[in-house]
Each structure stands twice: as structure tokens, then as C-alpha cells.
């Protein structure tokens, strides 16, 4: 079809990959997961609407912030496939994720701060270790470095 034809409004999988900075296999993966959609030509080639580039950008940003693909897919399922996500769509999506990200940031900050307290411990079974032995639970299992015991249930964590 010519430059003004219907297919000119669509991108091949290679064009999507090049413009998004992803591998073709990643584009195929996103499609298999239902995050993006394509049409097929008479020759069974994938063609993506140009709006897929914005969807892919949203997926990449969400993944970089640690949002699981299932959650990204759930959020994207509320958007129409026949157009590129708008600024309003992004505001809605990002506000859904903001509280979760804030909670994870707080949790990671606490973990980071607590981690510094037990670096020199060695055995990680002292009574005041807030990470691996809160409330000195390991003292019930005996003395010594309980977490270093291969058969101890906490060692598998």
C-alpha cells in the first residue's frame, strides 16, 4: 500500500522495537501478555497502531519503578486499544501507582537503615536484630548462630 494507505498509519514490529529502544522479542512478549495489540496483514505480518509507542513507554516507566507486569496489564486494560494513552490517562495510571510506590520506598528506606545495624553481627542471631530475629525468636532454638544452620527454616528465606 502507498504512503497514504491504511498500513502507513501502522508500524511493523521492527519499527516499534527501533523507536521504543526494545528488542523485537520484548514487543512480542508484551503482545503475548496482552499489554499491547497488533493487527495482521494479509501476509500475516504484525502491524501496530502508532499509539502503541506511548503504551510501550508507559510499560517501560512502570517496570523501572518496580510495578509488576500483571499490575501494569490490569491498569492498561482500562484504556482503549484504538488510541494512544493521553495525559489524563497517564495521570490516572500514575496516581494509582503512587501510593504503592510511596509505601515501597518507605519499606526500603527502613530496611536500608536497619541493615546498617547488623552488618558487623556475623551470625545475625543476636537478640536485637530487627531483620532476621525480631523479639529474639531464635533463642528458642538454642544458642549459637542458628541462621547459619542449613536445616533451620529461616536459613531458606
Assess if residue 53 is contained within a domain: yes
> What is residue 95's predicted lDDT score, i.e. its pLDDT?
86
Assess if residue 39 is contained within a domain: yes
Report the CATH number at residue 67: 1.10.1660.10
Q: Which domain holds residue 83?
A: 10-122
> What is residue 146's predicted lDDT score, i.e. its pLDDT?
59
Assess if residue 148 is contained within a domain: no
Assess if residue 43 is contained within a domain: yes
Assess if residue 136 is contained within a domain: no
> What is residue 1's predicted lDDT score, i.e. its pLDDT?
45
Q: pLDDT tens string for the chain (157 positions)?
A: 445 555 568 999 999 999 999 999 999 999 999 999 999 999 999 999 999 999 999 999 999 988 999 999 988 888 877 778 888 888 888 888 898 889 888 888 877 776 665 555 555 545 556 666 666 777 777 776 655 554 545 444 4
Assess if residue 112 is contained within a domain: yes
> What is residue 110's predicted lDDT score, i.e. its pLDDT?
75
| The total number of structural domains that make up the chain | 1
Residue 84: how many other CB atoms lie within 10 Å? 16
Assess if residue 90 is contained within a domain: yes
Assess if residue 142 is contained within a domain: no
> What is residue 117's predicted lDDT score, i.e. its pLDDT?
59
Amino acid at each position: 500500500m502507498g504512503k497514504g494507505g491504511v498500513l502507513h498509519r501502522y508500524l511493523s514490529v521492527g519499527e516499534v522495537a527501533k523507536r521504543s529502544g526494545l528488542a523485537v522479542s520484548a514487543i512480542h512478549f508484551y503482545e503475548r501478555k496482552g499489554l499491547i495489540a497488533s493487527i495482521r496483514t494479509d501476509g500475516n505480518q504484525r502491524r501496530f497502531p502508532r499509539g502503541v509507542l506511548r503504551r510501550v513507554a508507559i510499560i517501560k516507566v512502570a517496570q523501572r519503578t518496580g510495578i509488576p507486569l500483571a499490575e501494569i496489564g490490569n491498569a492498561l486494560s482500562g484504556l482503549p486499544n484504538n488510541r494512544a494513552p493521553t495525559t489524563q490517562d497517564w495521570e490516572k495510571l500514575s496516581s494509582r501507582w503512587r501510593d504503592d510506590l510511596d509505601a515501597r520506598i518507605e519499606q526500603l528506606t527502613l530496611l536500608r537503615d536497619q541493615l546498617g545495624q547488623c552488618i558487623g553481627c556475623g551470625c545475625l542471631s543476636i537478640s536485637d536484630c530487627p531483620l532476621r530475629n525480631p523479639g529474639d525468636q531464635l533463642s528458642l532454638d538454642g544458642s549459637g548462630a542458628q541462621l547459619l544452620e542449613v536445616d533451620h527454616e529461616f536459613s531458606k528465606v
